[in-house]
Amino acid sequence: MANRNYRIKQLLQIQACTNCQACAEVCPAVAGNLEGNLSAVYRMKGISRILKARTWLWRKLIRVKEPTREELRAFSDTVFRCTLCGSCQEVCPVGIELKELWHSVRRDLVDSDAYPGKINIIRENLKENHNVFGEDNEERADWVEDIPDAPSHGYLRKQAEVIYFTGCVAAFFPMAQRIPIALAEIFDAAKVDFTLLGEDEWCCGFPLLGAGLRDLAGELMNHNVHAVREKGAQKVVFACPSCYQMWQEYYPREFEIAHVSEFLNELIKSNRIPLQAIDLTVTYHDPCDLGRGRRIFEAPREVIRSIPGVKLVELSRNRENCQCCGGGGNLEMIDAELSAKIAKQKIEEILATGAQAVVTSCQQCVRIMTTYTKRNKIPIEVMDISQLVYRAFKG
């Protein structure tokens, strides 16, 4: 097949790799599995070789055959066992836009029918049920039933100024549902004019990028934009960094959007959320898509520091250097063992701070780290920024 999945800029950047190995040194997958073939530099060599072998002139000059499907499938093992965390891009000395390149490579491998079979599960779940887990989408707002004295409308108003876009993980995973529960009560108390979309909220489409299925995201995006319009909303708020990044980078610039860490920070600064003291030492984990992806580092830290009694101690690697928790890039579905090894590294770094709890701003990070700590009986609390605010708000 042709190299149509790559932009000209990407084709040039692939040849700019200096083989410096800096990407391998920061890769959580390489550190977790001690496999050099999971590194970006290994992938870059493979991509370059494949693209040249598909080009008539290069085939004639270097006498190589176009890769077979079996060879491409072997290569896909390294391409899809990646969290898409962006650490490699952060340290690349020549500025190669590696994260977007990995999306293109995955798209290429899907088009070449050389991809993990589990990718088909994502495709079918989103096509049939409009959420990545294949759950009944009518149940997307069922978590409201767990809120004591929830309003009769269940936060499903016909019109509102703000849409709280819940996201698939928080909507359907019980351990993550504490996040929207906390936020709904906080927003209610702060008199935020907000609504949920309920079953009219479809997956934002972000999992399709990591699955190499970006072309299928259009239907989901168009539906969500229409659903927000129908509510007459001016602003969309996200607790999920991946949803936030997807809307920021791929959706039309029709609405004001904000991550909940920014939104909570505004509410606190305007004295709309009364906070009581908590005696707690925490560390903060920067989610990949919020930190490296959108460069939002200070808003969540300002929220933490605004709570009386809370002490913040930083991880040894923080902000743009923060290590992934292991939950990105659909890795948990493709290689759950590797995902758990990356989570182990993260928890060990957290424990080294001496903090009583780790706070993050991502429901997937909460789910991955909580799962690991519970399975291994590790005495550290994992919570989202919204849960920390909720604790101080409730007193």
Give tens-digit pLDDT for 90-111.
999 999 999 999 999 999 999 9
- How confident is the model at residue 54, as a pLDDT? 80
95: Cβ contacts below 8 Å, ≥ 6 apart = none
Q: How far apart are the first and last CA of the chain?
A: 61
All domains in the chain, ordered by first residue: 8-111 (1.10.1060.10), 131-267 (3.40.50.1860), 275-394 (3.40.50.11810)
Q: Is the pLDDT of residue 69 over 90?
A: no
- The mean pLDDT of 157-175, rounded to a whole number, is 97
29-40 per-position pLDDT tens digit: 999 999 999 999
For residue 1, what pLDDT is reported?
46
Contacts by residues 216-225 (CB-CB < 8 Å, ≥ 24 positions apart): 216/123, 216/126, 216/127, 217/250, 220/126, 220/130, 221/250, 221/251, 223/130, 224/165, 224/197, 224/251, 225/251, 225/252, 225/254
The pLDDT value recorded for residue 287 is 98
Average pLDDT of the residues in 343-361:
98
Q: Which pLDDT score, from 0 to 100, does residue 64 have?
A: 65
Q: What percent of the chain has pLDDT over 90?
A: 91
